[in-house]
Each structure stands twice: as C-alpha cells, then as structure tokens.
C-alpha cells in the first residue's frame, strides 16, 4: 500500500491537474471535433481579452466561449456571458476576422457550458448553445 501512495504522489507532482477552465476548454474542443467542427485557434489573446476557441462549422467561422463551473449553485455557466462579455467578444471576433481577411465570411457566437464537479475525471454535463448571441457593439452597430 505504501508503494501505491508513493507512486500516486509522484504522478500528481509530475502531471499536475490542469486548472478547471483549461480542462473545460480541452473538453469543449474534443466535443466540437466529434460534432465535425474544425478547431482553428485556441486561446487567441491578440487584443483586450481572449477568444477561447475559434472553429469552422461548414463555411461559418464560429467564436466559442467556454464557461466551466464545478456546480450550478451560483447559476448556469452560460449566464456568465453577459452583455459586457458579448461586447468584448464581438470586438475580439472582428479583430480576428480582419487579421485573417475573413470579414466577408459568415460568423456566429456559440457558448459551451460545462459542469465539472470537483474530483471527477470527466464533466457531468456539456451543453453547446449554437448562435448563443448576436454581435453587439457601440450603438448596436453590429446587431
């Protein structure tokens, strides 16, 4: 039994558990790939914020916000994507589209909400909300 404890401790030190948000993004990427999406960017940090995932669904560029929570005690994870967050994501998406010369391409915003209880190896639930919100901006220019 002592050997098992030593090996378990060595494994935890050698391969520390990823933060919850990172595990959620990894799970969301796997989930979307299984659904046929092609992930083209992860953690894009150019600009004031970060795009969690950028994917392609058919001929549509999809900006995916991933929200992971240990439980729904304080509300559904998707509720964290409020109007201010939508505005920031819109700005980041436009910057991404300009940078890659994709302004003429169809685009949408999806949210992947994940509940991943502490101590579990897999999420309890993954919910993909397609077209979760429309682009928003100053004076609702993008709506």
Domain assignment present for residue 1? The answer is: no
Per-position b or e across 102-112, b if 16+ CB within 10 A of its CB: eeeeebbbbbb
Cβ–Cβ < 8 Å for 110, 131: yes
Q: What is the span of the domain harbouring residue 39?
A: 19-138
What mean pLDDT, rounded, does the chain reach? Answer: 89
User: What's 27's domain CATH number?
Assistant: 3.40.1350.10
Domain for residue 13, yes or no? no
Is there a domain that residue 133 lies in? yes
Confidence of residue 143 (pLDDT cuts 50, 70, 90): very low
pTM (predicted TM-score): 0.83
Residue 14 lies in a domain: no
pLDDT band at 140 (very low <50, low <70, confident <90, very high): very low
Q: Is residue 118 in some structural domain?
A: yes
Domain count of the fold of the chain = 1
Asked, for residue 3, whether it belongs to a domain, the answer is no
């Amino acid at each position: 039994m002592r050997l098992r404890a030593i090996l378990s401790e060595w494994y935890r030190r050698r391969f520390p558990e990823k933060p919850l948000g990172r595990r959620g993004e990894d799970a969301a990427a796997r989930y979307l790939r299984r659904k046929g999406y092609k992930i083209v960017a992860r953690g894009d940090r150019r600009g004031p914020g970060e795009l969690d995932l950028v994917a392609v669904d058919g001929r549509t560029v999809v900006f995916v916000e991933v929200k992971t929570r240990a439980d729904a005690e304080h509300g559904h994870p998707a509720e964290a994507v409020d109007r201010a967050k939508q505005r920031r994501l819109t700005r980041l998406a436009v910057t991404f589209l300009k940078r890659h010369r994709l302004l003429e391409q169809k685009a949408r915003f999806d949210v992947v909400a994940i509940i991943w209880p502490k101590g579990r190896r897999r999420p309890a639930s993954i919910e993909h909300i397609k077209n979760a919100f429309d682009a928003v901006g100053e004076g609702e220019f993008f709506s």
